[in-house]
Chain A
Amino acid sequence: GQGVEQPAKLMSVEGTFARVNCTYSTSGFNGLSWYQQREGQAPVFLSYVVLDGLKDSGHFSTFLSRSNGYSYLLLTELQIKDSASYLCAVRDVSGTYQRFGTGTKLQVVP
């Protein structure tokens, strides 16, 4: 069946890094987006990837492997304020339908 999966929780130490994983199985693929959602707030767009490989955007980097149905969001030099939920969303072939994963709640500890 179709689905987008993410681990529910992740904990990392301030100043280090965190890798948020996303695996997907969909009938078509036209890119994958990452969003950050703080408690009680709306999701905010972080990044979009459609080609294989690593896309470095400074504090946030994203990796995609289309053949494996896998992506990750890498956060480096973690700060306490990076504590939030991170959602991945897979776009269908039309680009209109976006299926979200369950989200990963990242806790950054001192």
Chain B
Amino acid sequence: GGIITQTPKFLIGQEGQKLTLKCQQNFNHDTMYWYRQDSGKGLRLIYYSITENDLQKGDLSEGYDASREKKSSFSLTVTSAQKNEMAVFLCASRTGGGTGQLYFGEGSKLTVL
């Protein structure tokens, strides 16, 4: 089996700061995703990538940048953290099989002071 590793697990930043989250997967999956989860709002797609160096915007891409320099890694940058922002960012990769099953990392919890 494989695993998805997100770093850091907890991230505390200041208003206006640029913050980067990293995700590594060893499934050898082509497609990777970044979702944001806020309480009561489910998962909202920020960016996804179908292969190395590919980037596709999701519903919530404004205020974020992403980077996929290697097949195994996918980074997300919050370009300017908003005061009192608090959310969990989930990275996922997708199997190429018929179910399109997503495998998720444990999440990175962001708090902005």
Contacts and interface: CB of A to CB of B under 8 A. Distances in A.
B42 A33 contact: no
Contact of B105 (A31, A35, A42): A42
Interface in B46-95: 48, 50, 56, 58-59, 90, 94
A99 B101 CA distance: 13
B44 A100 contact: yes
B45 A98 contact: yes
B99 A100 contact: no
A97 B45 contact: yes
Contacts of B41: 102
Given A96-B50, A100-B35, A45 B101 contact: yes
Contact of B42 (A31, A48, A101): A101
A43 interface: yes
Nearest to B43: A100
B25 interface: no
Interface string A77-107: 0000000000101010001111111110000
Interface string A28-64: 0001010100000111110010000000000000000
Given A41-B106, A42-B90, A42-B107, A98 B100 contact: yes
A11 interface: no
A43 B102 contact: yes
B100 A33 contact: yes
A8 interface: yes
Interface of B: 31, 33, 35, 40-45, 48, 50, 56, 58-59, 90, 94, 98-107
Interface of A: 4, 6, 8, 31, 33, 35, 41-45, 48, 87, 89, 91, 95-103
6 contacts: A43-B102, A91-B100, A96-B50, A96-B94, A98-B33, A99-B45
Given A43-B104, A98-B33, 13 more contacts: A31-B100, A33-B101, A42-B105, A43-B43, A43-B90, A43-B102, A45-B103, A87-B43, A89-B102, A91-B100, A97-B45, A98-B102, A100-B35
